[in-house]
Structure 1
């Protein structure tokens, strides 16, 4: 790619180009004249496409023309509509892939927290969890007391700003940060939610599965769980889900039920005393070297733009291949954003049983969405469309690049857990916070999050590294972007070069040498996916 390149044809079969910079009307490109102004990130036809003819991008069907489109025409929501190809389970497998050269990282390690189940954490957090929303006030109070009194409160620049406004124009000196009581506990995190009762029994079981995923997560040192007692999501159900994920689980889990204990005062006194004792025990764990095969990387995107599938997502996909080649695990989720690439992913499954499971989950999800009048074609957001992702298939084809090219070794329904090395497909919504929450519940100890428009999303227990698709965003929102992949668009760096930078950042983050911007901002987003109805 050259510095002044205006357009790119992503796949040899494509009949549209993506604009890498603004293309004014009348500009001649490869023998084609732009019919009208085409803003960077948007698409223009490279040849005549007849009415109802296929629009091809990334080598797959991404839409159908609503009218005859001359060569050089701007592609819009008016002149094309969403369409994607059919898919089925085929006997022939396409699991061949070009393994990347990983010699640069073959001997590298990261400093992690080793757990008895063989997994390794990139952090060491204590989590406080309500079994039902009725306990949210109690867990919030418990969390506030522990964070404030044990030295986990971060200095808030806005408090200093307000003091200046209230008292004088001279800045006041911020109070010195309180030292942490437990040096090896990275944080005390709250996982409050609005579920646990009122939904179906399946909802309760699913919530318990997700919470068990967090309690048994390699980044979690221990947990305090408060239950009211009468809700659908019972403590016994949670304990079953914990045992299912990690038989003989040995990290401390403090479970207290308010209706058995009695007063709120008695409940809180027990919670404080036992949590303090658990923290003291968990503080004995220290970081030690771990091989990169212990990495479990969640691949996520949010606030995507027309450059996502050209810069950040392919670079993250290359990282996925590196991690798999090193023996680690990768999670590709957001099933509504795999629409149009189902056949490719099905063919990449290591056997037809996995392929059948994947296609079944996709079909069931699509059917549920259509049953409520909102198919996958409704997925692109206003921001996506404004920045060049005008059909779900265009968005999906670019989003799927995050998974790299390695074979699919597992297909997991929510809220399941990663248990094998290689690339796993995890059924989640396209909503970035719900999907990130699910990826971490499945075991991701690092999340790579690509964004073209900017989003501050994070997670309570797993570092979420934000990768911008373009340099303008990285410059404008420096407080949330960890690494810029924009040099791929400008031609200043190749996908391989940027992928190497991301991989080095992943290792530094996993070992505690780098703190993700979302962690600095305390962006502790946690939203369970509620599939069922409320009763």
Structure 2
């Protein structure tokens, strides 16, 4: 069935572009009026894909968003479809060294005196949530962490509804009653729901989160230091009230390294912290019994914190996209960029990451860096990352996923030019390497991979106390300790997957709303979620994704 996103046929994103983006499915032979000339499409162009507004020869440059995004490998006729068969990744990635830090800040008078209800920490940070975290220093402790999870959640009132348990139980009953297999396929299970009405023992603690991973032992000493830095970022995070850390004892990621990384991020660290080493404690039972007792006492302290008003300048917003499509750079990403600009104008902080998806826009971003030193660090990290990717037989050009390509993002440069729109137009105050902490208000760049979960994991570890996540195809990505708001690039996605989408930017495509209007709706939603008034869909689903990045492997 054909999906109609809008009645408008196409859009030119930038005056210099020599391609147009189809906003609806266009048929072969359909005639397009463009700047006084009539273009007859030689083949069908699906919504979100691009077609040429001039005849292109082999080796010609293709521009979108006003930047080079590819070169042709085959001749493309007037109105011809751009695809992986006739276009390859190409960029003009050399920065010219100029500074362009002047910007037109948006009008934020409506939000100037606005506050959110947050958890105030002794170091001046303000959390949008109040969690306790249980973390293994090495994957050998994952089982013990999971054992603690089973022990705590139900008894503390944090167990989640299990809607599918009752469905399985019903199938068992029918099977034992002798119903044939074919009949079971037609059984209505969706109406069977199993709820839990457990009351929380600690009402001011939003949850106890159990983070597991596959690192800490093998790998280089740098890998161990980096992992400890990320875990320290979660322990010192404003959304975290306290932590329990389980160590085996002999791994590369030592307790002493974790303590050093905590001190780097919080010199006056004063949160409850339980650190236990299994090889010192003795049996598993001794370790876990002690961990349970000390964690429970820590939770009593965590429950003494209450939400209080805080200015919006205390928000640190992570900017992410995933499951991107050909509309991402036209609707949801620019709307998020407008939110970034508004929050920066209010004195807040934003983080733009995913360095493989900034390939081709280095010149624009480096020119927005406030100093040459900041610009040079960005360019150095980009080059270093690309070199590492090439060393394992890949490169930034391999970043688009099959889903990206199917929905119109056929080169990394096309994807990058649209992804960068999440960063708005404000000056770039700092550039950070993973897993450094954000310390400067304003827009920051953080070196992370383009993988959704690794990137979100990193941004939260660097201090984002809330995140916005644009998607054109749909992804349930969340985080254990920070709300992740999902913004759809198109309305059919929001209708099809309402359980994961928090806000629809599709009205930008249909012409029913402007980028600024959707951005303002999003900022209102961010404030509501940060205050605990609205639950992000990912939080409601218990989408607690956590994957540390192993440098040089993931794009």
Q: Normalization by structure 1: what TM-score?
A: 0.97
Q: Is the 8 A contact 1:163 1:172 kept in 2?
A: no
How many angstroms apart in 2 are the aligned matches of 1:422 and 1:246? 20
Aligned to 2:154, which of 127, 133, 148?
148
Q: Do 2:93 and 2:359's aligned partners in 1 also have CA atoms closer than 8 Å?
A: no
Shift of 1:86: 2.8
Structure 2 segments unaligned to the other structure (5+ residues): 175-187
User: Which SS does the other structure have where 1:127 is aligned?
Assistant: strand
Report what 1:368 is aligned to: 388
Q: Displacement, 1:325?
A: 0.4
Residue 58 (1) aligns with residue 65 (2): yes
In 1, Cα distance between the equivalents of 2:222 and 2:371? Answer: 29
In the alignment, which residue of structure 2 is the partner of 1:27? 30
Q: Give per-residue Cα distances to partners, 1:427-449, cap 9 Å, x unaligned.
A: 00010100000000001111100
State whether structure 2 residue 309 is matched by structure 1 residue 303. no
Match of 1:285 in 2: 305
- Does residue 338 of the first structure (1) align with residue 358 of the second (2)? yes
Q: CA deviation at 1:172?
A: 7.2
| Pair 1:124-2:127 in alignment | no
Structure 2 matches for 1:380-391, cutoff 5 A?
380-391=400-411
CA-atom RMSD, angstroms?
A: 1.4
1:260 aligned onto 2:280: yes
Q: Which residue of the other structure, out of 285, 300, 315, is the alignment partner of 2:335?
A: 315
CA contact (8 A) 2:316 2:349 kept: yes
Secondary structure of the residue aligned to 1:157 is: coil
Question: Where does residue 540 of structure 2 map in the other structure?
Answer: 520
Superposition deviation, residue 48 in structure 1: 1.9
Which residue in the other structure is 2:258 paired with? 238
Aligned length, in residue pairs: 531
The alignment partner of 2:444 has SS state of strand
Task: Tell me, yes or no, if structure 1 residue 81 matches structure 2 residue 88.
Answer: yes
What aligned pairs does 1:41-190 form with structure 2 within 5 A after superposition?
41-88=48-95, 90=97, 92-167=98-173, 174=194, 176-190=196-210
Instruction: Give runs of aligned pairs for residues 440-459 of structure 1, distance below 5 A.
Output: 440-459=460-479
Q: Deviations over 1:240-289 (max 9, x none)?
A: 00000010101111000111111111111110100000000110000000
CA distance in 2, matches of 1:243, 1:229: 21
For the structure 1 residues 227 and 107, does the alpha-carbon distance in structure 2 shift closer, same or farther, using more than 3 Å as the test?
Answer: same
Name the SS of the counterpart of 2:151 in structure 1: helix
CA offset digits 1:316-357 (Å, max 9, x no partner): 000000010000000000000000000000000001000000
Q: Which segments of structure 1 move beyond 2 Å, counting only runs of 4 or more?
A: 160-176
Say if 1:154 and 1:177, in contact at 8 Å, map to a contact too: no
User: Partners in 2 of 1:47 and 1:422 — Cα distance?
Assistant: 41
Tell me by how many angstroms 1:165 deviates: 3.1
Aligned to 2:435: 415
Q: Distance in 2 between matches of 1:245 and 1:350?
A: 23
How far the C-alpha of 1:176 sits from its partner, in A, is: 4.4
Deviations 1:119-140 (A, max 9, x none): 1000000000001011111111
**Residues 79-130 of structure 1 deviation map (CA, whole Å, 9 limit, x = unaligned):** 111101131351x310111110101111111000001111100000000000
Question: Could you tell me whether the CA contact under 8 Å between 1:160 and 1:174 is conserved in 2?
Answer: yes
Alignment of 1:417-436 (within 5 A): 417-436=437-456
Q: CA deviation at 1:5?
A: 1.7
**What SS does the aligned partner of 1:331 have?**
strand
Mapped to 2, the partners of 1:286 and 1:175 lie a distance apart of: 28
SS in 1 for 2:109: coil
Q: What TM-score does the superposition give when structure 2 sets the normalisation length?
A: 0.94
Displacement after TM superposition at 1:155 (Å):
1.4
Structure 2 residue 217 is the aligned partner of structure 1 residue 197: yes
1:478-530 Cα offsets, whole Å, 9 max, x none, are 11111110010011111111111111100000000011111111110000001
1:491 to 1:173, Cα distance in 2 relative to 1, 3 A: closer
Please state whether the residue corresponding to 1:465 is helix, strand or coil: strand
> Structure 2 CA distance, aligned partners of 1:498 and 1:160?
40
Write the distance in 2 (CA, Å) between the matches of 1:173 and 1:523.
19
| Cα contact 1:89–1:355 (8 A) shared by 2 | no
Q: Which position in structure 2 is the counterpart of 1:15?
A: 18
Deviation at 1:173, TM superposition (A): 7.7
Moved more, 26-35 or 481-490: 26-35
Structural mapping, 1:488-527, within 5 Å? 488-527=508-547
